[in-house]
Amino acid sequence: MIVTAGIDIGGTETKIGFVNREGEVVAFTSFLTNPAAGFEAFFKNLKHEISVMIENSQSSISLAGMGIGAPSGSYKNGTIEDSSNLGWPENLPVCDILENHFQVPAIVSNDANAAAVGEMLYGSAKGVQNFICITLGTGLGSGIVANGKLLLGANGHAGELGHTIAVHGGRECRCGKKGCLETYASATGLVRTVLESVQNGKSHPFLIPKKNGKLTAKMVTKAALAGDEMSIRAFEKTGEVLGKKLADTVALLNPERIVLTGGLSRAGDLILKPTKKHLNNNLLTVYRGSVDVTISEISNKKSAILGAAATMWFKLGEVREETI
């Protein structure tokens, strides 16, 4: 069986899956990234874990390539560009390191772009030529597929919707700007909305964190599902900011579908309904009825692995087409 490896490098955990062309994860492992130990130690672990997976498969698989998903992964340069926040070199040549060791092709993408390719091959955008995938996690990532291909831009950084301005002079963002979309439309943004309401004098026993714990988006979701009005309003506001920004984005890109994925998308209708409402209310007439918003059908657990593996499957497909 031919497989590609999907490798998701996160700040806390790194996951590896062998994925066949049909999108089945036939082998899986994970280990702690432990950035403080240095990138040499990390790659030693990564190579070891992949080698063990190959050995365990007892020749039943043939590894055709590796797709890596990482924050700031540069598809064009084969590097992780901003791994300095992990304490690693500025431009880490992740593809060279793996290609030299395993003698198979490797590509790296930023995690939101990988998620978009995963949706295109295995998820809620199969056969869709023009769509946007929005990852609602700690931040907001986006991957754009136009005419059946991932939009990369001049330097491979196209699709940073999370850092476009949603509210002028609004909340401070970790990027240094103010009012970025992700400061409102993300798990962190939802929590900030609730905390602002609490500061404004409204509070609810549902939302008091237990024992010094932090308020999380999951807690807000639980409270909203139990009928807590402040939590429901926080979802409303999140969906409003997101929906309006998506209406602008539709005017730029004319997608036929928008797929929501990531932890916060699991809140289901709580986030989907207000997003749809405010998107539709702000669409130019010409786009009405031509774009649908849906929540990814790929489980959260698998999506990073499938996305990363899918980038390599997609690449292999491209290579075949070019060869014919």
Site for Zn ion, rule CB under 5 A = 163, 173, 175, 177, 180
Whose Cβ is closer to Zn ion: residue 180's or residue 271's?
180
Provide, rounded to whole angstroms, the least separation between the CB of residue 235 and Zn ion.
22
Provide, rounded to whole angstroms, the least separation between the CB of residue 169 and Zn ion.
14
Q: Are 278 and 247 in contact (CB under 8 A)?
A: yes
- Both tokens assigned to 70: 């990482």
Whose Cβ is closer to Zn ion: residue 188's or residue 197's?
188
Provide, rounded to whole angstroms, the least separation between the CB of residue 158 and Zn ion.
16
CB atoms inside a 10 Å sphere around CB 23: 17
Whose Cβ is closer to Zn ion: residue 177's or residue 192's?
177
Provide, rounded to whole angstroms, the least separation between the CB of residue 259 and Zn ion.
22
CA angle 139, 140, 143 (to 5 degrees): 140
Whose Cβ is closer to Zn ion: residue 171's or residue 276's?
171
- Is residue 172 exposed (0-12), middle (13-18) or buried (19+ Cβ within 10 Å)? exposed
Whose Cβ is closer to Zn ion: residue 163's or residue 302's?
163
DSSP string spanning 277-314? HHHHHTS-GGGTTS-EEEE-SS-HHHHHHHHHHHHHHH
Whose Cβ is closer to Zn ion: residue 176's or residue 289's?
176
Q: Are 94 and 40 in contact (CB under 8 A)?
A: no
Backbone phi, psi, residue 30, to 5°: -150, 155
Provide, rounded to whole angstroms, the least separation between the CB of residue 201 and Zn ion.
29
Which amino acid, residue 61? I
Whose Cβ is closer to Zn ion: residue 246's or residue 310's?
246
Q: Are 113 and 159 in contact (CB under 8 A)?
A: yes
CA angle 254, 120, 182 (to 5 degrees): 65
Provide, rounded to whole angstroms, the least separation between the CB of residue 228 and Zn ion.
29
Reported as type and span, the H/E element at residue 233 is: helix 229-253
| C-alpha to C-alpha distance for 6 and 11, rounded to whole angstroms | 16
Whose Cβ is closer to Zn ion: residue 165's or residue 316's?
165
Provide, rounded to whole angstroms, the least separation between the CB of residue 118 and Zn ion.
24
Provide, rounded to whole angstroms, the least separation between the CB of residue 76 and Zn ion.
22
Q: Are 57 and 27 in contact (CB under 8 A)?
A: yes
| C-alpha to C-alpha distance for 175 and 2, rounded to whole angstroms | 41
